[in-house]
Amino acid sequence: MPTNVTIEDLQRKSHWLRQELFELVMRRKKGHLPSSYSCAEMVIALMYGGYIRGYPSAPRHPDRDRLIVSKGHAAMVLYPILADLGYFPNDELDKFATPEGRLRLYADHTIPGIETITGSLGHGLGIGCGYAYAAKQDGKDARTFVLLSDGECYEGSVWEAAMFAAHHRLDNLIVIVDRNGLCILDRTEACVKLDPLDDKWRAFGWEVLTVDGHAYRSILPALDRAVAHRSGRPMAIVSHSVKGKGISFMEHQALWHNTMPNEDQMQQARRELLDNCIDG
Amino acid sequence: MSVTHELPRDVFIDCVHQAAQRDKNIYFLSADLGAKALDRFRAERNGQFIHAGICEQNMIDVAAGLALEGKIVYVYAMAPFVTLRCYEQIKVALASMALPVTIIGVGVGYSYDDAGPTHYATEDLSCMRALGGIEIVTPCDTQSVTITAHVTYTQPALRYVRLDRVFLPSVYLPNDTRFLADGMAEIEHGDQVCLITTGYMVHRALEVSKVLQGAGYRIGVVDLYRIKPIDVSVLRRVVERYECIVTLEEHFLSGGLGSAVLEACADAGISRSILRLGIPDQYRFENGGRDYLHRLVGLDVPSLTARIAEFLSRTE
């Protein structure tokens, strides 16, 4: 890990972020908690682990590393983190999804720290290819990270971009596939099979690593490898995760994608979130 | 100035290529459509030309990424593929973020006349016109292609440039740029019928006006170079001398040039009888070339003159 942040620090961030996101969503009963929870550790590792070099007071700084949360329904996972890092004031979180606020259900380029509009799946990787290609042309060492959902890999444009990145040897481009196994209606393997997903990326010319998406001890070595490698091949990290991780009744449940808990469920969720579900 | 019969795409790409030699921030992506001029651009091998693969969707997203990095970007393919095939990419990745990308569509209308409906672009205008904040132009000769190319890199913006597949004879003299500021130019003057058209059909309109003028009609021809946005005050100034308006397009009537003119007239409070001439609402599969297709759909000179004359007899 490029900083002196400890795994325990990151675990504390996990605990904090789940609670922050829960209250953010419950405030307006808008948002996608389960999809945000499945990628929480990965995003925390990127943002606090020193992998993303950011400039909160100059969000568009040319030397920054780029992170595109291409699964835009979960881009809100970044909101508490960006506020915490100083990209915008904390009270923006209170104004989420209100006319006074700038934070929305789906993130876009008008929000400091957000690179590009997302929400329609299948755009982030192509845009990330544009970033990575420009960085190579301009001789910059900035990296581009693109967080995809596994369901997003149904989009043909993802594979168009995967070919493009491999052909242009964009080894400054790192994809993370949040493999939580669910789309809106069902398990991906019951809808249209995605497996073997890591072999698909490999066949498209990518280096592939597989991690436990809720264990920093698994995530951090993979990110270390990803940022160190210059093999000429782009890197995909398939992050096996649990949709809804941290709230027992949401975990692995497709129908909680965009469903709001009732009062009893809210109380239960808050009780469960008092305990940190992340210990690895 | 060109004295040879250079294709519109070659004229355009040569201009962009020259600009790209001076400005390393210019990038040109092709989804596997070629051009002689593009061979020269590609030979530079400095990364400013990018073969995107036959991947129009990804080409648009990559263009967005490059544009977000401050690049001036061109995407290039046959008109139906660089518009409808990647329509949502254009909406989300380009239009919503108002990125300075020039979309070059080659072969509008029935340009690819022997290819059939897959290659016809007879609904591109209505679809692209619906997108927020995009500028749409259809140059009709070498001079207007040259000027268009110049504008795309001196004033980068989200634009859709509709190029014909074939060489089109001169309408404008070298150094004539009046179509640029106004977005349209009255290239034949009259006071009875204002025939408004664009691109390839400008030349058809000139043939039609010749015949109708010979028959005693006082017909003017307007090249509506920029179909979006239309400068309503210019349109009012141009058409107020005329008794009625005829629109002509090699495009379906739903949402095309005629629709754009109707909307602009309504917005401007211009009250004139309007006849819209375009392609009937049906895909065609016949062989025989562009002129033959035009005869089938009523866009040939005799059909057009007859329909305009009949329209005038009704409006008198």
Residues B120-167: tens digit of each pLDDT: 999 999 999 999 999 999 999 999 999 999 999 999 999 999 999 999
pLDDT recorded at residue B3: 56
Q: How do B193-197 and B244-252 pair as beta strands?
A: parallel
Angle between helix A124-137 and A156-167 (nearest 10):
20
d(CA B299, CA B305): 9
DSSP per residue, A90-143 = THHHHTTTSTT-S--SS--TTSTT--S--SSTT-HHHHHHHHHHHHHHTT----
State whether residue A230 is helix, strand or coil.
coil
Domains of chain A in sequence order: 7-275 (3.40.50.970)
Distance CA A95, CA A89 (A): 11
Beta bridge partners of B160: B103, B136
Segments in chain B below pLDDT 70: 1-3, 316
Report the chain A residue with the minimal C-alpha distance to residue B91.
A120
pLDDT band at A1, cuts 50/70/90?
low
For an interface test with A, which of B62, B81, B91 has the most A Cβ atoms less than 10 Å from its Cβ?
B62
- Give the H/E segment covering residue A200: helix A197-203
B201 touches chain A (CB under 8 A): no
> Comparing C-alpha atoms, which of A207, A231, A138, A160 is closest to residue B54?
A160
Question: With an 8 Å Cβ cutoff, are B93 and A128 in contact?
Answer: no
Q: By the CB < 8 Å criterion, does A166 face chain B?
A: no
Q: DSSP for A161-193, please give it.
A: HHHHHHHTT-TTEEEEEEE--B-SSSBHHHHS-
Residue B55 in contact with partner chain A when CB distance is under 8 A: yes
Share of chain A above pLDDT 70, in %: 99
- Strands B226-228 and B135-137 turn out to be antiparallel
Q: What is the predicted pLDDT for the residue at A4?
A: 84
Domains of chain B: 8-163 (3.40.50.970), 178-315 (3.40.50.920)
Q: ipTM of the predicted structure?
A: 0.97
Q: Which is nearest to A87 in space by CA: A115, A50, A68, A63? A: A115
Cα A167 from chain centre: 25
Q: List pLDDT tens digits, range A138-164.
A: 999 999 999 999 999 999 999 999 999
Q: A119 vs chain B: nearest CA distance in angstroms?
A: 9
Secondary structure in 3-state letters for B160-190: EEEECCCCCCCCCCCCCCHHHHHCCEEEECC
- State the pLDDT confidence band at A48, using cuts at 50, 70 and 90: very high
pLDDT in tens, A51-94: 999 999 999 999 999 999 999 999 999 999 999 999 999 999 99
Shortest Cα distance, chain B CAs vs residue A69, angstroms: 14
Q: What confidence score (pLDDT) does residue B1 get?
A: 46
pTM: 0.97
The pLDDT confidence band at residue A280, using thresholds 50, 70 and 90, is confident
Strands B159-163 and B135-137: parallel
CA distance B252 to B216: 30
Backbone angles phi, psi at B253, to 5 degrees: -75, -20
Residue with tokens 């073969």: B51
